[in-house]
Amino acid sequence: MLTPQSQLLLRNIADLSGVVLLVEPMADDLPRELALNNSELQLSCYTTDKTVANNWQQQSQAPCYFAAELDAKHLAAGKKFDTVVLFYPKSKEQLAFSLAQLNAVIDNNTQVYLVGDNKGGIKSLVAHAEKLGLHAHKLDNAKHCLWFALTGLADKPQQAQPMANFSAEVAGKKLQFCSLPGVFNHGKLDVGTAILLEQLGFIQQGNVLDFACGAGVIGTFLLQQAPGIKLYCSDVSALAVASSKATFALNQQQAQVVAADGMPDGTPLFNHIVTNPPFHTGLKTDYSVAEKFINDSKNKLSSGGTLTLVANAHLPYAQWLKEVFGNVKELARRNGFVVYHSRKS
C-alpha cells in the first residue's frame, strides 16, 4: 500500500537522481516501490518516527537514520545528497526544524523537493517559503497532494528552533517541561492531559509507564507526586523522546525513556500505565494504535495493575477497555474529554 503522498512521489520519480535522501517519509511500501522503479537510486532515509524506521528497515537495505536531529556523518559517508525529498510535516514549526537538519548534507547542486497532503498545510508553502528566504515552485498536483521544488536552501540555511522550556500549573503543581517542534501540543499543556493529571493521586508507588509520553509532562507530574515510583516512558517519536529526557533533566528526576513502536520491550510488569494516547497517524484519524495499546497493556500489567487514560468522549475506548479488562469506570468527564480507568484482575 502507498499513501497519496508516496504515490505522487512515484509519479515524479524522474525528478530523483543519484544519492537520494527521503526526510520524514510515510510508513508504507515506498522503499520497495522506489527500488523496483529505479534500482540505480542510492536511497537513504531520515525519520523521527520509530514506525517509519522499522518499516524502512524491513523493506530496504538502504540506510535509515532514526533520531531527533540529523547527524550528517551517519548518512552518505559525509557526502552531499544529489536529491532530497521532504514529506511536509504537521506544522510550520516542524518544517523549519526539518529544513535546518539539511544544512550539512546539501549544497547548491542538491535538488530539494517537498510533497504533502493538501489538508496538511502545504498549500501555503509558497508564502511560507518566501518568509524563510526560499522559493517554492509547484510542479505537480494529484491524489489531493502537491509536489514542489524548493530552491535557495543552500544559500539560506535554516536555523533549527532549540529545545525550549515551558511551564504550566495543574492540580496544585507547577510543571516545567521541554519541547521540540513536532512534539504533541508543542509548548502547551493540552486540556485532556490536564484533566488526566487531576485524577492520578492514587499512583504512589511501583513501576509506572507513561505511554506516548510526548514532552514528559505526565511523567514529571507523577515523579513530583510520588518520587519513589520507578518511571518508564515511551513514545514513537524521537522528538518526544529527546524532549522527555530534557524535561526530566530539567526537573532533576530519573526515568527510563525509550523510543518504541507500540508497547516498549524489555521492561518489568507495571503496576500502573497512564496515557493520553494518539488517535492520528499523520493527518489521518487512526484508532488502531490506541486499540492495539489497550489490547497489549493487559499483558504488561501485574495482577491488580491499573490502566488510566484520557480520550475524546466520542471515541470507543470504554467499549475496548470493557472487552479487554472486563471492567471500566469514568474518573472524570469534562470539556469533551473522559478519563477511563480499568484494573487487571
In the chain the domains, ranked by start, together with CATH numbers, are 4-151 (3.40.50.150), 164-343 (3.40.50.150)
For residues 232 and 264, the answer to whether their CB atoms sit within 8 Å is: yes
The per-residue pLDDT for 280 is: 45
Classified as helix, coil or strand, 140 is strand
Q: Give pLDDT tens digits for 94-107.
A: 899 999 999 989 99
The per-residue pLDDT for 288 is: 77
Q: How far is CA 202 from CA 58, 144, 198, 232, 268, in A?
A: 42, 48, 10, 17, 20
Give this prediction's pTM: 0.94
Residue that has been written with the C-alpha cell 499483558 in this structure: 299
Q: Give pLDDT tens digits for 52-75.
A: 999 999 999 899 999 999 876 666
The per-residue pLDDT for 235 is: 97
The list of the chain residues with pLDDT below 50 reads 280-281, 283
Q: Vertex 134, ends 128 and 139: CA angle to 5°?
A: 80
Residue spans of beta strands (DSSP E) within the chain: 19-23, 42-47, 64-66, 83-87, 111-117, 135-142, 145-151, 164-170, 173-179, 207-211, 230-235, 256-259, 270-275, 280-281, 284-285, 301-312, 329-334, 337-343
Classified as helix, coil or strand, 138 is strand
The per-residue pLDDT for 40 is: 94
Tell the burial category of 291 from Cβ atoms under 10 Å away from its Cβ (0-12, 13-18, 19+): middle
The per-residue pLDDT for 78 is: 63
Q: Which of 90, 97, 98 is nearest to 162 (CA)?
A: 97
The per-residue pLDDT for 162 is: 84
Could you tell me which residues come within 8 angstroms of residue 23 by beta carbon, excluding any fewer than 6 positions away? 45, 46, 47, 84, 85, 86, 87, 98, 101, 102
For residues 121 and 155, the answer to whether their CB atoms sit within 8 Å is: no
The per-residue pLDDT for 79 is: 74
Q: Count Cα atoms within 13 angstroms, Cβ side, for 58.
A: 10
Residue that has been written with the C-alpha cell 511501583 in this structure: 206
The per-residue pLDDT for 286 is: 66
Determine if residue 240 is left, alpha or beta; phi over 0 gives left, psi from -120 to 50 gives alpha, anything else beta: alpha
